[in-house]
Amino acid sequence: MIFDLIKERRSVFPPQYTDKPISKETLEKILEAANWAPTHKKTEPWRFKVLMGEKKQELGAFLSNKYQEADPKPKQMKIKKLQFNPSNSAAVVAICMQRDPKESLPEWEEIAAVSMAVQNMWLCCTELGIGAYWASPGLIKFMDEFFDMNEGERCLGFLFMGYYDGDVEPSSRTPISEKVEWLD
């Protein structure tokens, strides 16, 4: 049931991933789910760049090098994490937004549409037993140096994906009653 799936969705981090690959067919199915997200004025602003194989290592090297250039006191732990997360993932999806060239709606609506597309992907991953984690490091502002980006396109983060063993941490939420005001 969809309600159970929504409650089961969790961030599953790259250190938890196994080395089992995700097939291209499975990735295409997950991306197809993203394509059915709501989109105001049918702008469909989501764009995805799927990194597999050597491209994941190249991304990790780019991110760690860029971090060392940008931070006057880089931390070794962060350098290693920036390299490890892409390389330990079965696939990395760069989450991008293509801004409507006419700017016919506010940018936040385009970002919201991309976020809903990612939620669709994440729910599919949960259903398929694939772990996923959306990271949006400050370094995403440099991604036009790594990817060929169209005019008006920008990177909003990465969805790291991989099969995993074991259970994920249970999550809890404060009751919805504390967040809703009923008006009659």
99 annotated ligand-binding residue: no
Is 134 within any annotated ligand binding site?
A: yes
Q: How many CB atoms lie within 10 A of CB 144?
A: 13
136 marked as binding residue: yes
Distance CA 22, CA 37 (A): 22
Residue 27 DSSP label = H
Q: What is the DSSP string of 56-94?
A: HHHHHHHHHHHHHHH-SS--HHHHHHHHHHHHHSSEEEE
34 marked among binding-site residues: no
The Cβ-side half-sphere exposure at 106, using a 13 Å CA radius, reads: 3
Binding residue per annotation — 9?
yes
Binding residue per annotation — 172?
no
Contact assessment for residue 86 and residue 92, using Cβ atoms and an 8 Å cutoff = yes
Binding region: 9-11, 40, 134-136
Binding region for FMN: 9-11, 40, 134-136
